[in-house]
Structures are given as C-alpha cells and as structure tokens.
Structure 1
Amino acid sequence: MKEQYYVALDIGSSSVKIVVGEKFHDGVNIIGTGQTFTDGVSKGMIRDFDLAKSGIIDTVKKAELIANIDIDEVFLKVPITNSNIIFETETLRFSGRDTEIDGELIEELLENIRFKEISEDQEIVTVFPVSFIVDDLHEVEDPKGIIARESLTVNAGIIAVDRTLFLNMGNCAAEAGLNIIDVTSDAYNYTHILTESEIELGSVVMDIGADLTQYAYYKDGALRYTGIIPAGGNTITQVIANEFNTDFHYANRAKEQYGHAFYDRAPEGERVVFPQNSKDEDLEISAKDLSDVIEVTLEDMFMEIFEDLARAGINDISGGFVVTGGTANMRGVRDLLLDIVSEKVRIHIPTQMGARKPEFSSAIATIESGIRFDELLDYVTIDNHESDYDEAEETIEEEKQSIFPSLFKERKEQNKNRDVAEVEEYYIEPSDETHEDDSYIENEEIIETSHEKDESPKEKEKSDFGGFMKKVFKNLFE
C-alpha cells in the first residue's frame, strides 16, 4: 500500500512554509520542507493576495522537489489572531442498546459541536476532545472499542477564528491550486510540542515569529488561554537599526551573526560594524552593546505577555515555559527568560531530520494534529464490504440537513477513495479471457454525488473558489 503523506501549509508572519511528513511509529518522519519569504503575508494574515499566492506556489515547488511527490492536498493551520476558545459538552444517547464505540460515533459527536454557531464574525476551525464519558460512569481519553448502553459524552474545546482571516487564507491556498483537507488552529497544534506533564501541570508556549508572537496556556491536559502581541524578531531588528542609525538589512545581519539576548553572557571580544545612514564613517560597537539593546527589547515583549497572563488570572505555570519560533534561534533567549521567571524554561527545536529549526515547530505540530484526528476517527480504515449505494444515500441525506459540509467527512471520503484505489492497484486477478495482458478488477462501483443544486445564489457568486474550497467555505456566505 502506498504511503500516506501529510502536508502542512503554514502562512506565517513573514513567510510561507510547507512541511511534508508521514506517520512513523509514535512520531512524524519529515520527508520534505519548503519556505519562501514574502511581503504578501504579515502577522499570519494575507497582506497582498497575489504575492501570497505566488509565495505558496513557490513553496510548494520547493517542497515537491525535496519530497519527490506531487502536492495538491494540505492541512491548513491558522494563527491565534482573533481566536476565541470555549468549551462545550455533547452527548449521544443509545437507549439501552449495546453499542460499540467507533470512529463514526466520535465523529458524529464532534460534528454536532462543529455545527454550532459561535458568532456571525467567527468560524469554528478546530473541535478537540478533552475527555469522553461512557454511560456517565467513567472518563476515558479514547473510547473506541468500549461498549456503551446509555450514552457517550464528549467534553470538547472549540477554537473559532475571524471569518475574514479564515476565508482569505483558504481562498489564497485554493487559488494556488491546493485542496484543504482540514484546518487546525495553532492554539491546538502547540499541544504536540509539549510533554504530557507540561500540559497537566500548567505551561505556556511562546512562538516568537518575525512580526507576531503567539502564546498559549495549557493546564489539566487541555488548552485554557491564548493571546498574541504584534511584535517579534523584526521588532528587535528595527530597534537595533534605530539605535545604531543603520539600515534594517545590516541590523538583521548583525542580530543573526552576533546577537545575544542575555547581556551577562554575551561575548566580550566580538566587535560589530554598522554602515551608517547619515554619514560615511561606519560605526563599530561591541557585541555587549548589541546584546544590551536586544535584551531590553525582548524583555519588554516577555513582560507584555506576562501582564496579559496575569490579567487573565493565570498564575500557576508549574510546567514552565516553552519557547519556539524563528527568534528562538537567537543565543541567550533561554538565559534571559530564566533570569525573569522562576519556572522551568526550554527552547523547543524539532528533532526530525531536515526540519531541525524552531520556525518549523508549528507546521510539524499541524501534521501531528492531522495524524491524531485520523487515528481518533479511524479515517484510514479500509472496508470493502459496505454497500456503496447505501452509503451514498446516507451522505445525500446528511448533506440536506447541513449547510456546512464537514471537513471531517471530506477527509474520510478522500482517504477511503485513496484506499480503494490502492486496493484496485494491488488486487488484480487474471481474467478468463485468452489474452494474457487482459485483467479485471473485482471491486464495487464507487457512486459519486453532486450537490451543486443545493448552492445558494450567494455561493454561486463565489464559484471561482472551485472544487473543495467552495464547499469548505459554503456556510460563510449563507
């Protein structure tokens, strides 16, 4: 059977990144990456549609070259910007019938929550289970295979994002020729860079990008709070440029080559030369002087995060702080944060070959989210004994009842179709015909249904989205 690849699309604060991975034992094996810096994106949002589209296309080509596969389906991750987190409880009743819990029942529970309307301005992008309760008796993490007679309840978290941000990112990806299999929020994805003890005890993830710093707090096994500050590595670079009267380019090069975030441990003997904007003579400073500026700027960013956490009543961070993102590459970041807080601090750098850079942490975590949901909902199970006709009839009925075609169901159907194609490829038997080259495939016909007739006039106005994306964003125009 062919390998199943997971492709994450990360529209970041200054660049577009693609990471291609596959499930490997209990982790992820990275087989390809791509990154393109572009002015088309800023702070995790589309700034210039055409530039962002070109950036996505270029990044896909780079990743395809390294991974040696064709990329047309991706998992889109969305930033924490303008996110809202709430928790909901949903229950399925079985009326005393012995019912074995499977992926479809879990899917139905999560779907019921996904259909709920949060607000006119926000769209639910991630529904993640915190725990399941079987027959109101015992709490489990994964109930598949358990027999229930009365009920299955899920305590789930909901992450909703700004509709406009979501729509623009998805539309841009679609225009670049990509089909979105599912969408997850960074707020949920960050759980995959934490250990179980960090999630339980109370930890804060800080993802310091170029123009945006995202942070999220986890406690008792689940996401509890998120926030952003509109500052990042470029903020530090701009302060250096202003302080030493030099161009942004020279300031950024000096930061990357000589920068140290903790003054006390900055090297003594290193010298840094800055070409000046207003005079011919270059300015020469010590690495200590450069470190002083970096430390003050980064400390201000940390303090802004701490103040927001305090306002939210978050004071138990026994699990410590985890710092990632491109700026985490700078020397001294951990030392500075340790000097400010009394909790544990670690820098998260992915361990996968080919992606050992903190700027890839979020994209890799997106892949891990995709694998997590595929395992939970049994999306990759092959079953050739079900009636395709009955299944098609059931799908039609479900679509009539829903205005938002489920990304879960899209993924399940795509995986099933992929699996059936692979079965056809490998289970070819010789026919009774006399021609040696003839063969036949013994498989049931797959019935496809079209739902174009259900589109509203407003949806038709947006028909340039095309294909899957038109269905994904269908309810945005209701």
Structure 2
Amino acid sequence: MKEQYYVALDVGSSSVKIVIGEKFHDGVNIIGTGQTFTDGVSKGMIRDFDLAKSGIIDTVKKAELIANIDIDEVFLKVPITNSDVIFTTETLRFSGKDTEIDGELIEELLENIRFKEISTDQEIVTVFPVSFVVDDLHEVEDPKGIIARESLTVKAGIIAVDRTLFLNMGNCAAEAGLDIVDVTSDAYNYSHILTEAEIELGAVVMDIGADLTQYAYYKDGSLKYAGVIPAGGNTITEVIAREFNTDFHYANRAKEQYGHAFYERAPEGERVVFPQNNGDKDVEVSAKDLSDVIEVTLEDMFMEIFRELGEANIDDISGGFVITGGTANMRGIRDLLLDIVSEKVRVHIPTQMGARKPEFTSAIATVESGIRFDELLDYVTIDNHEDDYDRDDNEPIVEEEKQSIFPSLFRERKEKNQSVEVEEDVEYESDDDRYEEDEHDDYEREIVETSDVKNAPPKEKEKSDFGGFMKKVFKNLFE
C-alpha cells in the first residue's frame, strides 16, 4: 500500500466502516477510521446499490479527514455468508537443485491454488497457508530462508464465496472510486483476535452483527470451520418491539440504554418506558422484564450456533469462546454465555486508539491479514514510512493471461509495496545492467496436485493490465 498504509473496507449490515492502519512493531497502529450507517446492505448482501455506494463514499471522506491521507486503494473483506472452507495441498518440485525458499516461491504456490476453479457459482477469495513441507522431510510455518532440493509443499485452506455476492460487493467499491488491492474473508481474519493458546486448543469466535452472527472455529493453529446464522442485534430489537408493542426505534434505544443479557444480574430499580404503536398510553416495564426478552433471544441464537457446530462434529472447544461485533457491547452477554457453556468466555474489544469498539474488530483484523500476507511474501521488510525498497522500477513486468476475475493480486500488491521513485534520466552501461535475471528460472518446476478442489486444472491466464485491474474488470462486467 502507498506509504505503507493498509486501508480495510467493511461493508456491514448496519454501517460501512473504514480502518486505516500501519505495521507497528508486532501489531497494528490505527491512524484513522470512518463509519456511516446505511440501509444499503442486509444480511451481508447489497440490497440497495446506490445507498451502499453512497455509504462507502461518505465513509472514505470521514476516514481521509481523520488520517489526513487520500484513500484510493482498499483491502475488501467479505462476510462468511454462503462461504465454503476447503483444504488442499500444492507442490513445487526443484529437480535436485539447491533452492533457497523466498516470498516469490510461496507466492507462486498460493497463486496456483487461487487460479483453480472450484465451481461456476463460487469464487476463491482467500488462500491461507496452514503449513509448509520442505523436501517431504519437515513441516514449518514459514519456510523463507530454508534450502530445498526436491520440493516445497503447502498445506492450505481455501475460502470460496458466492460469486454474485462477491461481484456486487466489489463492483460497489469500484463504482465508489476505490481500487481493490486484495480480498479476504472474515473467516480467516478472525484468527488475528485469538491468542496462540486459543487457536491451538480450539476456540470459537462469534461476531454478532446487526443482521447476521458469524462464527468460526480454529484449532491446531488454523481455521477449521465457519458458518453464519441469520440473526443479530436487529433480531433482538425486533423481538423487543413485538413483545412490548412499540416501534423499532424505541425498542432499539431501550436495548442500548437499559439492555442486559443476563436476567439474574439485570438491575432491579431501572424502569423503561415504551410508547405504544396503537396510540394507547405508554407502557412502563422494569429492566428485568426487558432483560428477560433479551436473554431468551440471545440464548436461542447461541443454541443455533451450538447446533450447527455439533452437526459439523466440533466438540473440542478447550480454547473457549470469543464474542465480538456491535452486540458485544451489551451488558451481561459474557455472563449469559458463561451460564450456558463450561468453557471460558471473553469479549474482544480492540485496544487500538481510535477504534476501541467491538464493531471495528472485523476491519482491524482485515488490516492485520494484509500485513501478515505481505510479511509472508516478503512484500514488507521495512519499518514504518521508510521508502528504500530493493527493486528496479525499470525491471519489465511480464504480462500473464487470466481467466478468473481474480488474477495476480499477490503480484500487484508486491509491485505497489516495492515501488520507489527513480530519476528519469538513468544511463546504463549495457543492456545487461537493465535487467536482473530471475534466480528461479533455472530449475524445473512441476506442479503436483493433491487437492480436494474437484481436481480442476489451473485456470488459463489471459493478458491482463494489473494496474487497477479490479476496478476495470468490475466495470466491464456490468457495462
């Protein structure tokens, strides 16, 4: 990203959020955020294109004012809605030649997987490495710097989403004037909010949004399963409105001001007044009565998640449960879940200045995903705001062919992260000085597939202009 900034775009069910971050030591420093409430999105899908587009434009302006930078490139995150998680392996063979593993080889492995077509109605949006195996001898998390003679294999996860959902979300961002640097799924991003112990032992993240509750299960260091239920904070509000015969607006205000998710600990003396829909006299109820409705609704939502986890044969959650999302602000929600389960429970609230709200969790995690991939692929090897990159801008870019709407995102990110300003009039002693040979061109590469991706061959690549390709692709598709 320009100036080493990572901008995450979160088009949620109740609001559009922008988070601008930068790599800071071992974490993320947030330098700006923006949020605009909109009715353009419902249950993770674009409902009103113009409203959603306006929400994105307004949010970008707010974030730009706070961070004092121009935003034209974003990391787009997509919800878990209509997603599948698939696991596969991919291998590069080196034919007995000593080869030092670097970011380019890792990039090639991941791209080979990303170019596969798993179905006509799904698009691969995230390929994440689980582990690497060098020469079929030892397994490592990051193989960079290791010498291999025979092969490098990646054990990877694939997250595929509904193609229509993806196209509409991406097209909306592009029409708002944004170029998409990369796309990641919430299912992968949530891993960044877990501790090492939680992700190893087996933990479930529950992100309770406005219209959806997304959940993801992680164990042995990586994502294993993800799902979504069509209920969230608005579901609770609707039940309150129906129970007390009041308008949605009044029900939501009561939920936010007086709501408590655990009946036993709800305050005794608080009273809540509900104007009636039929014009009758206002009804006054206790905070306990309000809590009773909230507890029953939330408990039903939790039980639905437990049912789906059970159907997926997930029963080892020794790492506990992590609750986040806008509804995580509600008092007593941790107490309620603790009363239901025997494992530990915590509420995750981001600690970064300017974004200490659980509704920003997903966007911040998207920034962290961008940084993690850039580190893995050697795109980022510098400190913040330092611009001395080791790349010759005169090095030719080899055009590749593509068939998927997801061509070489990794390569475009690398070029953007490694670009530097150079003097216009540079003299070369010879043509040989202008180019640097690819140190990996002199060994034979054999792609070995042991995949669950329906044994589909890699997609053919067509000629592509990588600069702003996503914006152009989306526009071409809809013109």
Q: Give the 3 Å change call, closer, same or farther, for CA 126–403 of structure 1 in structure 2.
A: closer
C-alpha distance after superposition, 1:290-349 (max 9, x if no partner): 000000000001011111111111111100000000000000000000000000100000
| 2:32 equivalent to 1:19 | no
What is the match of residue 55 of structure 2? 55
Q: Give the 3 Å change call, closer, same or farther, for CA 455–409 of structure 1 in structure 2.
A: closer
Counterpart selection for 1:399 from 390, 401, 411 = 401
Q: Give the 3 Å change call, closer, same or farther, for CA 358–401 of structure 1 in structure 2.
A: closer
C-alpha distance after superposition, 1:59-90 (max 9, x if no partner): 00111111111100000000000001111111
| 2:470 equivalent to 1:469 | yes
| Residue pairs, 1:22-101, within 5 angstroms | 22-101=22-101
Q: Distance in 2 between matches of 1:11 and 1:216?
A: 19
| Residue pairs, 1:326-405, within 5 angstroms | 326-380=326-380, 384=390, 388-389=394-395, 391-392=396-397, 395-396=398-399, 398-399=400-401, 404-405=406-407
Corresponding residue SS for 2:401: helix
Percent identity over the alignment? 85
Corresponding residue SS for 1:399: coil
C-alpha distance after superposition, 1:366-421 (max 9, x if no partner): 000000000000113566565845x42xx12x33798852111111122222xx12
> What are the ranges of 5 or more consecutive residues in structure 1 without an aligned counterpart?
429-439, 448-453, 460-465
Aligned-CA RMSD value: 2.5
| Residue pairs, 1:217-232, within 5 angstroms | 217-232=217-232
> What are the ranges of 5 or more consecutive residues in structure 2 without an aligned counterpart?
382-387, 436-461
Q: Distance in 1 between matches of 2:201 and 2:315?
A: 12
Q: Give the 3 Å change call, closer, same or farther, for CA 61–195 of structure 1 in structure 2.
A: same
2:470 partner letter: M
What is the match of residue 186 of structure 2? 186
| Residue pairs, 1:265-284, within 5 angstroms | 265-284=265-284
TM-score, normalising length: structure 2? 0.87
Q: Distance in 2 between matches of 1:64 and 1:387?
A: 29
Q: Give the 3 Å change call, closer, same or farther, for CA 325–280 of structure 1 in structure 2.
A: same
C-alpha distance after superposition, 1:191-249 (max 9, x if no partner): 00111111111111000000110001111111111111111000000110111111111
After TM superposition, the runs of 4+ consecutive aligned structure 1 residues lying more than 4 A away are 381-387, 400-404, 440-447, 470-477
What is the match of residue 437 of structure 1? none
Q: Give the 3 Å change call, closer, same or farther, for CA 224–15 of structure 1 in structure 2.
A: same
CA contact (8 A) 1:163 1:476 kept: no
Q: Distance in 2 between matches of 1:206 and 1:223?
A: 14
- CA displacement at 1:475 relative to structure 2: 11
| 2:140 equivalent to 1:140 | yes
What is the match of residue 438 of structure 2? none
Corresponding residue SS for 2:231: coil
What is the match of residue 413 of structure 2? 411
Q: What is the number of residues matched between the two proteins?
A: 441
What is the match of residue 171 of structure 2? 171
Q: Distance in 2 between matches of 1:68 and 1:294?
A: 41
| Residue pairs, 1:415-454, within 5 angstroms | 415-417=417-419, 420-421=420-421, 424=422, 442=426
CA contact (8 A) 2:174 2:471 kept: no
More helix by share: 1
